[in-house]
Amino acid sequence: MTRLSDTRGLPLTGLNATQIERYETLLIELYSYRPGVQARLEDLLQEAPGFVLGHVLRGYATMTDGLRSGLPEARRYLHQAQQLGGTATERERLHIRVLQAWVKGRDADRLMALEDILARWPLDLLAYRQLTGMLFWSGDKRRQLGAAMQALPHWQAAVPGHALVLGPLAFALEEDGHYGLAEGFARQALEHNSTDLWALHALAHVLEMQGRVREGDAAISAVASQLNDFNLFRGHLWWHLALFRLAQGRLEEVLDLLDREIFPAASLFYLDLQNAASLLARLEIQGVDVGERWVRVADAAEKTLGQHLVVFTGPHQVMALARTGRSQPLAQALQGFRDDALAGLEQAHTGSAVARAMALYYQGDYPSFLQDMRLLRYEAASLGASHAQQDLYFQLMVDAALRTGELALAKSLLKERLVKRFTEPSGWQRYADMAHLIEQTNDPQVLRGLLRSGLHL
Ligand SMILES: [Fe+2]
């Protein structure tokens, strides 16, 4: 069979030259977080039903929605790709294996297949973004950086799509604490495309971790008027902007962002639910009256009981259900997580334990919450997400310690929380200054304020 290749020299089964151009555009749009990509991919598949990788990509997209209800659809795309397996290249067959593993919940197989693709075809942009994206939810930050770095020698600046590897690289560097390098690569990607959302997101994380809240605010505000031209990932950028505003004490604006952009309605998208619950938690820790806003989040949590495949979402569901006193769905959610753990699903054991701890906090049993969460606080990182998202655990622990009058514990946790923020030699003095400040402070409200302020002095 004669096959044409993409602009990086990788053969594609089932597409003519014009269709390859359309696929290339789709791929760039996909990783630029543009809306409507799935519909355009469907159109392409209608015209080119033998496009093996297209069926796989539709399956990837369905799985990326993160809902169990999407599994039948993902299996259908997998089946269609498998039917074409005889015509596929070895690389395409590995992609089919990735999708198969994903649908079956076999993360190790999925990981190995993606690594196998990149080891032999390092310019496979789809595999690169899939692997680095998958590792975000694995909690293995060093492996994420390894994955992002290993293909770099092949990605010269002239390679088409080069800028789209810089965002994952910057983000992986940031999560491993290499803030200077991360900022450099993020800015390089943004010079190429000022609305490269993943690169902007990596930059936001650098600025968040270094407490550079005004710069972070400015970086996202600069593209705010364009953010709603992007797909649902935009909500997470709005969330980052809200964190920067929270750090500046602009609380009314945070509530406004929550209502207008972050969670205007009961979204079923897992990231929206995470963003809303963790922002409401942070606001309440600062003493803000958030009104009935938890109801919206609890509605979304209840509608998606047993549905979320991204395990990190579960504890956020539980927060909303417990906070609104919905005891029956809460019990159902917790039982579901225990069942997943008993069934041996990936991450489910830790997910279930963290979810139970969240329920204890929002039921007001702060001593039991502290007992459980203190033991879990490092293991909980295995549920993935960024340091900024995982900070929720420390926020709640410090708050619980202050509520129970355990001032020394609250201070200890606050200092421990600094470790991730000052990983570079240039940050050491700031760490020392902050640690000293924490030690000198005995007012619980001031200590709570340190959770909000992004740790800048
Ligand atoms: Fe983020």
Instruction: Report the CATH number that the domain containing residue 10 is assigned in CATH.
Output: 1.25.40
Per-residue confidence at 29, pLDDT binned at 50, 70, 90? very high
On the question of pLDDT at 188 being above 50, the answer is yes
Mean local confidence (pLDDT), 156-173: 96
Domain presence at residue 148: no
Tokens of 248: 């500046």
Q: Are residues 331 and 422 in the same domain?
A: yes
Partnered with residue 12 across adjacent β-strands are 4
Q: Give the separation between CA 56 and CA 440, rounded to whole angstroms.
A: 57
Is the same domain home to 353 and 388?
yes
Tell me the CA–centroid distance for residue 42 and ligand 1, in Å. Answer: 30
Q: Quick one: 310 and 431 in the same domain?
A: yes
Between the CA of 315 and the centroid of ligand 1 the distance, in Å, is: 17
**Per-residue model confidence as pLDDT tens digits over 122-138:** 999 999 999 999 999 99
Q: Residue 190 corresponds to which tokens in the numbers above?
A: 């943004």
Q: Do 93 and 219 belong together in one domain?
A: no
How much distance in Å is there from the Cα of 212 to the middle of ligand 1?
A: 15
447 band by pLDDT with thresholds 50, 70 and 90: very high
Kindly list the protein residues that place their beta carbon closer than 5 angstroms to ligand 1, a single-atom ion: 386
- Band (pLDDT 50/70/90 cuts) for residue 2 is confident
Instruction: Determine the 3-state secondary structure of 12 from DSSP.
Output: strand
Whether residue 435 is found in the same domain as residue 296: yes
DSSP string for 324-387: TT-HHHHHHHHHHHHHHHHTT-TTHHHHHHHHHHHHHHHTT-HHHHHHHHHHHTTGGGGG---H
Say how many Å lie between the CA of residue 179 and the centre of ligand 1: 15
pLDDT for 117 equals 98
Confirm whether 192 is domain-assigned.
Answer: yes
Least confident range of 247-261, 347-361, 428-442: 428-442
Q: Measured at the alpha carbon of residue 230, what is the angle toward residues 192 and 421, in degrees to the nearest 5?
A: 65
For residue 247, give the CATH number of its domain.
1.25.40.10
Residue 145, in any domain of the structure: no
CA–centroid distance, 62 to ligand 1, in Å, is 21
Phi and psi torsions of 67, nearest 5°: -115, 140
Expressed in angstroms and rounded, the spacing between residue 264 Cα and the centre of ligand 1 is 19
- Does residue 100 fall inside a structural domain? yes
Q: Write down the pTM of the prediction.
A: 0.97
> Ligand 1: distance of its center to the CA of 251 in Å?
20
Cα of 210 from ligand 1 centre, angstroms:
14
Q: Which of 166, 171, 225, 224 is nearest to 201 (CA)?
A: 171
Structural domain ending residue among the three candidates 231, 260, 289:
260
Task: Write down the residue that tokens 């998202």 correspond to.
Answer: 389
| 68 and 102 fall within a common domain | yes
- How many A from CA of 198 to the centre of ligand 1? 9
Say whether pLDDT at 149 is over 90: yes
Q: Please state, in angstroms and rounded to a whole number, the distance separating the CA atoms of residues 1 and 16.
A: 13
The three-class DSSP label of residue 288 is: coil
Do residues 23 and 99 both lie within one domain?
A: yes
In-domain check, residue 147: no
Both 314 and 223 in a single domain? no
| Ligand 1 centroid to residue 239 C-alpha, Å | 8
Q: Is residue 283 part of a domain?
A: yes
Q: How far is the CA of 240 from the centre of ligand 1 (A)?
A: 7
Domain that holds residue 187: 154-260
Q: Are residues 277 and 186 in the same domain?
A: no
Q: Does 227 map to a domain? A: yes
In this predicted structure, the answer to whether residue 457 has a pLDDT above a threshold of 50 is: no
Domain for residue 141, yes or no?
no
Confidence at 213, pLDDT banded by 50, 70, 90? very high
pLDDT (0 to 100) of residue 456: 55
Residue 131 near residue 115 (C-beta atoms within 8 A): yes
Residue 83 corresponds to which tokens in the numbers above?
Answer: 């039917």
Structure tokens at 271: 């990231």
Number of domains observed in the structure of the chain: 3
CA of 386 to the centre of ligand 1 (A): 6
Q: Give the residue among 251, 292, 293 at the shortest CA–CA distance from 275.
A: 293
434 vs 37: CA distance, rounded Å? 46
Looking at the fold, whether 334 and 389 belong to one and the same domain comes out as: yes
